[in-house]
Amino acid sequence: MKDITLVNHLQSMAGQQAGKTEKTAEGFTETLKNVIDETNKMQVKADNAAQKLNTGESKNLHEVMIAMEKADISMRLLVQMRNKIVDAYKEIMRMSV
């Protein structure tokens, strides 16, 4: 059985290895870029699977639905990450110096 926790999902999407020593800003930027790229790949894969199903190339509805759900979950995770980043930015802007 595969672990489907949020942390495991982020680690698998980002492809990060333990023990990397990077600057925090670069690590965050690279992680965010990797998550966006991986989400895009999942969206494209789901679109291709749906198109193959519509044209009759694929007969397996289950695989198409699984690909579409993976893409949906990845997109929802990305949107929530964006919302948290925007909230953090707004909070920093409200701080007085």
> Which residues, at least 6 apart from 9, have a Cβ–Cβ distance to it below 8 Å?
73, 77
Where in the sequence is the domain holding 62, given as residue range(s)? 24-94
What's the number of domains the chain is made of? 1
pTM score, whole prediction: 0.67
Look at residue 16 and tell me if it is in a domain: no
**pLDDT tens digit string along 1-24?**
566 666 666 676 666 544 454 456
Q: Is 1 among the domain residues?
A: no
| Residue 93: per-residue pLDDT | 93
More confident residue, 39 or 28: 39
pLDDT in tens, 45-71: 999 999 999 999 988 899 999 999 999
Residue at 49 is within a domain: yes
The residue ranking higher by pLDDT, 91 or 14, is: 91
